[in-house]
A = this chain, B = another copy of it.
Amino acid sequence: MTPTRLALIGFGTVGQGFAEILAERGERLATRHGLAPTIVAISDFHRGSVYRERGFDPKELLGAADDLERLEADAKGWDALTTIRRSEADAVAELSFTDLTTGEPALTHVREALARGMDVVTTNKGPIALHFAELRALAAEHGAGIGVEGTVMSGTPTLALGAGLLASAGVTRIQGILNGTTNYILTRMEAGLDFASALAEAQREGYAEADPSGDVDGIDAAGKVVILANLVMDAPIGMADVERRGIREVSAADVAAAAEAGERWKLIGSVERAPEGGVRAAVRPQRVPLSHPLAGIGGATNACTFTTDLLGDVTLVGPGAGRLATGYALVEDLIALRGRR
């Protein structure tokens, strides 16, 4: 078992969830999965930055999460790039904030780490949706690995299923409920709320952000469709290739009319092989019959149906967000890159 020295760029919800998993299950990861990760550096814009050559106990990081520089360290105050360059880590977990327009600053972090031959694991959709082909080539060039399970459906192993286990079954179409916030809002509208009230409730419950456009306009789901298309179907599409409509246009009357017909509105992200070659990708609200494999997915749950040549439809249902669920995505990626199943 080779120890893995890890640098974390960002120590918000996901990074803390990951540290909690290491604190509680580190021994099992080592004995059963051959993975012994030690966090040697964290750089967080708000919480401070620390580097310690011999590593940190995950528990002490969690105890000092609001001000990391309280901890005894060999260096403090390094920015993200300095941390990547000087921490001598084997792998970098890129967990800074997501930007689906430029991919920055995460894109620069990921490029820097891969160019140095460091493995990268990330839950950050930005750089992956915008520049996956380039990053995959960069990783191959430098003998590095890149794990992105957490960019779609958090730690629910959607990419490992679609791009791994089902690869040889011939995936011809993917349809998913890939955004928990909009699914929560639509589920609440079925209970009688109008869009504005359901959105306000989602914001109170912490499912939606103050500016909800990333979710309700389908941008987040479109990013996931691009990632699924690239990884599972080898289709090199970008954000602009996704026909995109959000759920603002779905009215309480629409939801009621669907219910009367025994149907439901769902925001479905999809990508499928086109008869003319290439793929067609879309995110749009769809009225589906209750027999549809995604019709029963309620609340903040996510789901993804892979239509395959050999198995027909295979559907995976699981959490799309959450501290431990997303932190677990990093565990899966690290096991795949540096441990054993």
Chain A interface residues (CB < 8 Å from chain B): 21, 25, 28-29, 32-33, 154-157, 160-161, 164-170, 290-291, 293, 295-296, 298, 310-319, 322, 324-325, 327-328, 331-332, 335, 341
Q: Does B32 contact A167, Cβ atoms closer than 8 Å?
A: yes
Q: Does A332 contact B298, Cβ atoms closer than 8 Å?
A: no
Known: A25-B170, A168-B328, A293-B296; 8 extra A-B contacts, CB below 8 A, are A21-B310, A156-B311, A161-B161, A169-B328, A293-B317, A296-B296, A311-B319, A314-B318
Q: Does B298 contact A325, Cβ atoms closer than 8 Å?
A: no
* Residues of chain B lying within 8 A (CB to CB) of residue A156: 311, 314
| Distance in angstroms between the alpha carbons of A311 and B160 in the assembled complex | 15
| Distance in angstroms between the alpha carbons of A157 and B167 in the assembled complex | 11
Q: Does B311 contact A314, Cβ atoms closer than 8 Å?
A: no
* Residues of chain B lying within 8 A (CB to CB) of residue A166: 157
Q: Does B161 contact A335, Cβ atoms closer than 8 Å?
A: no
Contacts known (A293-B317, A312-B318, A317-B293); A32 close to B168, Cβ less than 8 A: yes
| Distance in angstroms between the alpha carbons of A332 and B160 in the assembled complex | 13
When the two chains form the complex, which single residue of B161, B164, B170, B316 contacts A315, counting CB atoms closer than 8 Å?
Answer: B316
Q: Does A33 contact B325, Cβ atoms closer than 8 Å?
A: no
* Chain B residue at minimum C-beta to C-beta distance from A33: B168
* Residues of chain B lying within 8 A (CB to CB) of residue A341: 164-165, 167
Q: Does A314 contact B312, Cβ atoms closer than 8 Å?
A: no
* Residues of chain B lying within 8 A (CB to CB) of residue A154: 311
| Distance in angstroms between the alpha carbons of A328 and B154 in the assembled complex | 28
| Distance in angstroms between the alpha carbons of A166 and B33 in the assembled complex | 12
* Residues of chain B lying within 8 A (CB to CB) of residue A335: 168
Would you give 11 A-B contacts (Cβ < 8 Å), ordered by A? A21-B310, A32-B167, A32-B168, A33-B168, A155-B310, A157-B314, A161-B165, A310-B324, A314-B316, A314-B319, A317-B317
* Residues of chain B lying within 8 A (CB to CB) of residue A291: 298
Q: Does B311 contact A328, Cβ atoms closer than 8 Å?
A: yes
Q: Does B319 contact A316, Cβ atoms closer than 8 Å?
A: no
| Distance in angstroms between the alpha carbons of A298 and B291 in the assembled complex | 8
* Residues of chain B lying within 8 A (CB to CB) of residue A296: 290, 293, 295-296
* Residues of chain B lying within 8 A (CB to CB) of residue A168: 25, 28-29, 32-33, 328, 331-332, 335
* Residues of chain B lying within 8 A (CB to CB) of residue A161: 157, 161, 165
* Residues of chain B lying within 8 A (CB to CB) of residue A328: 168-169, 310-311
| Distance in angstroms between the alpha carbons of A143 and B263 in the assembled complex | 54
* Residues of chain B lying within 8 A (CB to CB) of residue A310: 21, 155, 324-325, 327-328, 331
* Residues of chain B lying within 8 A (CB to CB) of residue A29: 168
| Distance in angstroms between the alpha carbons of A164 and B169 in the assembled complex | 18
Name the residue among A28, A164, A167, A310 with the largest chain B CB count within 10 angstroms. A310
| Distance in angstroms between the alpha carbons of A223 and B324 in the assembled complex | 33
When the two chains form the complex, which single residue of B32, B33, B155, B165 contacts A157, counting CB atoms closer than 8 Å?
Answer: B165
Q: Does B317 contact A315, Cβ atoms closer than 8 Å?
A: yes
A309 to chain B, nearest CB (A): 8
| Distance in angstroms between the alpha carbons of A300 and B327 in the assembled complex | 35
